[in-house]
Amino acid sequence: EFFPPPATKGRKKSGAAAKKSSEAAEPKKKEGKKMYESFKPMSNPIYMDMSLDEIQKTKSFLDPCGMEATDDIIDRLVGQQLEKIGNLLHRALRPPESSGSKGTSVGGSLGSQTNPLVLGTACSGTDAPALALTIVQEQLERRGMGHLFKHDHVFSCEVEPYKQAYLARNFDSKLYPDISKLCDDPPRDVYGQEQPLPEFNLFVAGTSCKNFSMLMSNKRIDIEDKGCSGETFLAACELLFKEKPKYAIFENVIGAPWEKMSEYITGRVKLSSCDSNKSISKGTKGKEGELEFLFENNKIVVHKVPSVFGVRCGAVVDGYCKGSSTKVIAVKWPGKSKKNCTLTELMKHNGISKKDDTLVFENEVMYCTHYSKVDTKQYGLPQTRLRTYMFVWRPDDDNFDDDLGQYWEAILKYLESPVRHSLESFILEVDHDIIRVFREALNGPAGRHTHRGVNQAPDFWNKENANANLPHNMTARERLGLDEFARPQTKWGPFGEMHIPPHWWLEYLKCQGQRSVDLLEILHGSAARDAESHDSNFASFFWNISQNASKEKHRSAVSGIAGCITPGGDVFLPHAGRPLLGCEKLLLQGIPYFRLLLGNETEVQLGDLAGNAMSLTVVCATMLAAMTCKQLRKDHQASSNKDIHATLNSVTADHPFYKAKGAELDGQIKQFDGEVTDTKPLFLKLSELAESAIKSSIWCTCETSGRISHSSDFLRCAVCSVASCRDCCHGKQGYQLDSHDIKDVHLTSDEHDSNSFEMTLRSLMPPSLHMDKEGLDKMASLCDDKYRVDGLSDYVFVLHRIKRHRMKWIAVYYARDGVIGEAVAEFKIIIGEVESRSETADRVIGVQGELKSFFPARKEPLQFGNIEPCAIARQCTGDLNMKWAMRAPESTTCLKVVGHGSTDSFRVQVGLTKDADAELKENASAKIKAKKFGAANARGEERRWIYAKNWMEWPEEIMVTDSRDPSEGVLLGGKYVRAGCKQTFNQSACWIRKNNGVDPELYLLLKPQVARTGPDYGIISTSTNHDDVSSVLAFLPRDWQPCDALIREKQDIQKVVISNWAPLPGMTCQASKSNFVVEAPTEDVSPVLIRMTGLSESDMNDLCLRDDPDGIKTEVHLSVHRGAKAQQTVKRYNLLCAAPFLKFAAANGLKYDLTPVASWNLAKPKEIPFGCCRKTVPERPTETWYFNEERGTWERNSEPGASRRYFIALQEAPQCFDFVVNRSENSLTVNCHPEVAAHHAAFSLIEGRGKGLERDVSVHFRLLAYQEDPVLERFRLH
């Protein structure tokens, strides 16, 4: 019973045949189906109702245009919502007018100066509503409407202690610990102080969804079943009835009993709807039967409530309404002697119709409700998250049939905006500090402890001693048609044995058990099994490996979109080779992580914060709809439109408040005086550094997050150039390199010193660049400015960052719009390997600049997909001239591609058998699918449904015949031989045409569609890296597959697209001279570390906007530590000051030696011994423990208000670095206070070790230009 039937020899039966055979062979079991027995592989193509052309037009994503996984994308999404309803919002927020042109009053809506939005939140976890309103305020300010909007967040309520700490750090509102006690008189806050609830007019609550969604449970629990979901909802209702806010918004899963929830709030029960459909569970015992009443004190009181009614016991009947009438008719009790009666008896006695009438209960306040289902991916965030939002409002005239909810829903739907940016745009760069810290933890004691447990685990596949998870994996493999022992990705075995793809995090995989690792194999095989096959090493997938193999699907219903973020999910991104971190889960929810003040939250807690959060763009849309729905109703009533949407389209057609601002460019060019210098000497110098750039670049995946490998010996493939350090290639656990032509490479510590090379690079790179107008005009004249470069000469490209990559370094410059700071163009400078080639080819090393205009993805008509460089500048090492080239119009040609010999296809290498092919054919021929398959076949897209006939073999050699004239470009003809490298080429597909001394070495590859919005397609390139887009010579048709080279009728390929580049003489790139002057004292006792003068008034206003908005202070200390205020300041600081400061420090040094061999400086305390300054290290409040009889748990207790005082003291504590703007001197000064770090370090040593120890503590410090790797070995305090 425990295992699926064993596989038979030879070809397995597939589909229905296998199922019938299994049923016939096995006796029927009395118990129900096991979970793994319900597993069904995904055999339908994604978007099966659409053609490839339709998918390309409607499902492709926009280029992120320089937006990184910070708050940029989230801010922009909120800004787009405001632009969409700009005119309506402007009319709603304006001061009230007596009448409009058609006699309708205008303005003064919720959120206006005369009617401020006063927000109270409960159970919202991250308080996404408050964060959303903060971003709304900022975006309105950028669009000239900030003065019209006014809001305040006055209280939050959260029961989890770590969430309370998060809320206290990030919001100044009052904070309460338990929603069920908010109605106490008075309630107590989390600090134990009595705090009356402030007045509010909008209440937003995301009550617990645990019981409604079956999270961590096998059944749903209804409102009245004493679960946390029902208790929190009823407590929220109690708060509504007591405080009577004008508006409320409730959020929960779509499976929640929304109709019953509406009945609880409105006090009205539509009798025709009282059937079993309203109950989400069978209910607790005693909750069946009819609604029953008692007659007490001349009132009809509810006594017993079945689970299909949204009524509380004790509710008093007010009457009933006939049909659509709003008049409440009194209900008479059926007989004075009768003590109780049922609903049926009450209806019969009063002539109440179940079909038409509504039962009304007494409520202290009248509320109306309207709810709507939403999906997060319809509001710009790449996540499938289905939720329902309920809008609750008090009608102005106590009219229960008030239709305001219809206008609210119309605006909510109008604000829908399909996802423009895929999942990849929301994940952090692999070298981000957060990722580096996480990887350090994996390599540290906690990770090593987990490694030991994994290394002691016996064989997961031992069927005699298997655990309950094995049947899930075995069943999934069998039904997918995946060989039972195929493990090409990881080669996992017992006791921690594994050899993984070279781009995966080894330290993370070492922490995963065999079940999870085998699940990765199954999901990888599932991705290859699709008729439109994708290699998970190169295509975007989102895998929750905490699930069982029978439950987790290898792809979501929408490509490039994450599945629903849930608390506790362990998500793996195979193309990135790493897990999805908690902060990234927050970003996928639209939570602006980098605005938040966080403490020591664990990954589990961050994931829980994300999993329980409201999606910010969704809740923002619900609140914007609440702010504008009354204005829309006024406009609609004054119009002649019958349809609300027609009115909505007409009143939002224009938003002049935004257009009037224009697109001034002075925000980026005012700091320059027009003087420029030629960059030819710079490119020459950089080309000479190319060899050093390669040696100091990333050589192993263990280095991708900023560290340097401890090994000086590396292994590098002579064909694909993949490299790994010796430390990551152990015999038992390491990277999989056995299919590669490996060569040994030794790098000295000086050669591989990335930090030293970065300092050299920073000393050379100019802070800003300027593109020549003549060259750009020439490009614009080509193809009617297809690449939209016209006008880029008016922008200044500012250094954004310098990044270390594999075999290269990259400096990225962005030109930004002066109004809202969005990048409009990019100039990327690559130093090192310009093209990746095998060792038998001529090396191409030096420097290359790549220019991109982002306008095609910014302005209509939009261009979807990745934006490729429109111009390149290249200077190879040893070449004295820099050559510019621009994209020329593409051309087409015909090629004859003939295969010889036979090798295993990618699917065979993965372990797929003929059963997979048979199952796909059976699925395509099924009655309900045959029509769709026939339509795809007629379009020539049958391979989206089924495999090619010869899918199991790919040619060993491919002969390409190119009949073009040599004057038309590089000829593609010749013999291409398949390379044996696996996991480093997409689908392990690479055929090489060797360099013969005349013709260059070429590579036939499959370029991946990372977001999976179409099939991978063949390219011929001069580089082994498919991402080297400027090296691609030809694009093969998208329906071509390598096996076609072995089919005679498919060997003549039409419409091969040739990529052409034309010389661009006269194009230049200049370094712009800055008006900024940077200086730093070399030796003095002042705290000044570095100083910049020459700031303009607008520069200083931008820097001080959050700390001195009125511009009245002469000296402003900037808030630059994490938080909503700091985030905007840091953005502007990075844009203006970071590059000049870093360049100066790299070229001239500071008063502290920044090198890793610098001597330690002795820190001297001023008056207070180190570790004893309570201003720098505030004293924690004392705590006591007591047993809470009501909850049955031990809880901490402290003096009321002590925790709040401690938190305020932490906020006011001095920091190591102080950023000061002096308006009278037009300067920014960075002060360094080593004694602050000394106090913290000493306090950690002396705390709790007795008095007097501080006298024996001495502190030495160093200031480093980069973060050193931590010392992970054990240490001991003496």
Report pTM. Answer: 0.89
Pairing of strands 1052-1063, 1069-1074: unpaired
Q: What is the pLDDT of residue 281?
A: 54
Q: For residue range 354-413, what is the model confidence (pLDDT) as tens digits?
A: 888 999 999 889 999 999 999 999 999 999 999 999 999 999 888 888 999 999 999 999
Q: Does position 15 have pLDDT exceeding 60, yes or no?
A: no
Q: What are phi and psi of 721, to 5 degrees?
A: 75, 10
Pairing of strands 498-500, 733-735: parallel
Q: What is the pLDDT of residue 1200?
A: 67
Interatomic CA distance for residues 1082 and 1150, integer angstroms: 6
Q: Does position 673 have pLDDT exceeding 80, yes or no?
A: no
Q: For residue range 637-650, what is the model confidence (pLDDT) as tens digits?
A: 999 999 999 999 98
Q: For residue range 275-301, what is the model confidence (pLDDT) as tens digits?
A: 655 555 554 555 677 889 999 988 999
Q: What is the pLDDT of residue 1219?
A: 95
- Token pair of 579, please? 């897990």
Q: What is the pLDDT of residue 595?
A: 84
Name the residue with higher pLDDT: 313 or 853.
853
Task: From residue 604, give the alpha-carbon distance in Å to each of 142, 583, 921.
Answer: 36, 11, 43
What value does the mean pLDDT take over residues 486-492?
96
Q: What is the pLDDT of residue 279?
A: 55
What value does the mean pLDDT take over residues 1180-1197?
77
DSSP-derived 3-state class of residue 1061? strand
Q: Does position 1168 have pLDDT exceeding 50, yes or no?
A: yes
Interatomic CA distance for residues 1067 and 55, integer angstroms: 38
Q: Alpha helices, DSSP H only, in 1113-1259?
A: 1124-1133, 1139-1148, 1202-1212, 1234-1246
Chain centroid to Cα 1163, Å, comes to 42
Element (H, E) at 133: helix 128-142
539-542-546 Cα angle (round to 5): 140
Interatomic CA distance for residues 84 and 77, integer angstroms: 11
Phi-psi region of 930 (alpha: psi -120 to 50; beta: other; left: phi over 0): alpha
Q: What is the pLDDT of residue 228?
A: 58
Q: Does position 776 have pLDDT exceeding 60, yes or no?
A: yes
Q: For residue range 949-965, what is the model confidence (pLDDT) as tens digits?
A: 999 999 999 999 999 99
The closest of 40, 38, 4, 140 to 82, measured between CA atoms, is 140
- What length is written for the chain? 1278
Confidence tier at 1126 by pLDDT (50, 70, 90): confident
How much of the chain, in percent, has pLDDT values that exceed 90?
61
Q: What is the pLDDT of residue 224?
A: 56
Interatomic CA distance for residues 1164 and 399, integer angstroms: 74
Q: Does position 101 have pLDDT exceeding 80, yes or no?
A: no
Q: Which residues pair with 1259 in a beta bridge?
A: 1163
Interatomic CA distance for residues 225 and 214, integer angstroms: 14
Q: For residue range 1223-1251, what is the model confidence (pLDDT) as tens digits?
A: 999 999 999 999 999 999 999 888 888 88
Q: What is the pLDDT of residue 514?
A: 95
Rg (C-alpha) for the chain, rounded Å, is 33
Q: For residue range 180-209, what is the model confidence (pLDDT) as tens digits?
A: 888 888 899 888 888 999 999 999 998 654
Confidence tier at 1102 by pLDDT (50, 70, 90): confident
Question: What sign has the CA pseudo-torsion 227, 228, 231, 234?
Answer: negative
- Hey, what amino acid is at 1169? P
Q: For residue range 1200-1213, what is the model confidence (pLDDT) as tens digits?
A: 677 778 878 888 89
Pair 369, 611: CB distance under 8 Å: no
DSSP state for residue 941 in the 8-state scheme: -
Give burial (CB, 10 Å; 0-12/13-18/19+) of 342: middle
Q: What does the mean pLDDT of the chain come to?
A: 87
Look-up: residue for tokens 């989400």? 280
Interatomic CA distance for residues 1142 and 1124, integer angstroms: 25
Q: What is the pLDDT of residue 569?
A: 86
Q: What are phi and psi of 320, to 5 degrees?
A: -150, 160
Confidence tier at 316 by pLDDT (50, 70, 90): very high
Burial 477-486 (b: 16+ CB within 10 A, else e): bbbbbbbeeb
Q: Does position 219 have pLDDT exceeding 50, yes or no?
A: no
Question: What sign has the CA pseudo-torsion 1036, 1038, 1044, 1048?
Answer: negative
Least confident of 665-679, 861-875, 1182-1196, 1256-1270: 665-679
Q: Alpha helices, DSSP H only, in 351-418?
A: 404-414
Confidence tier at 232 by pLDDT (50, 70, 90): confident
Confidence tier at 531 by pLDDT (50, 70, 90): very high
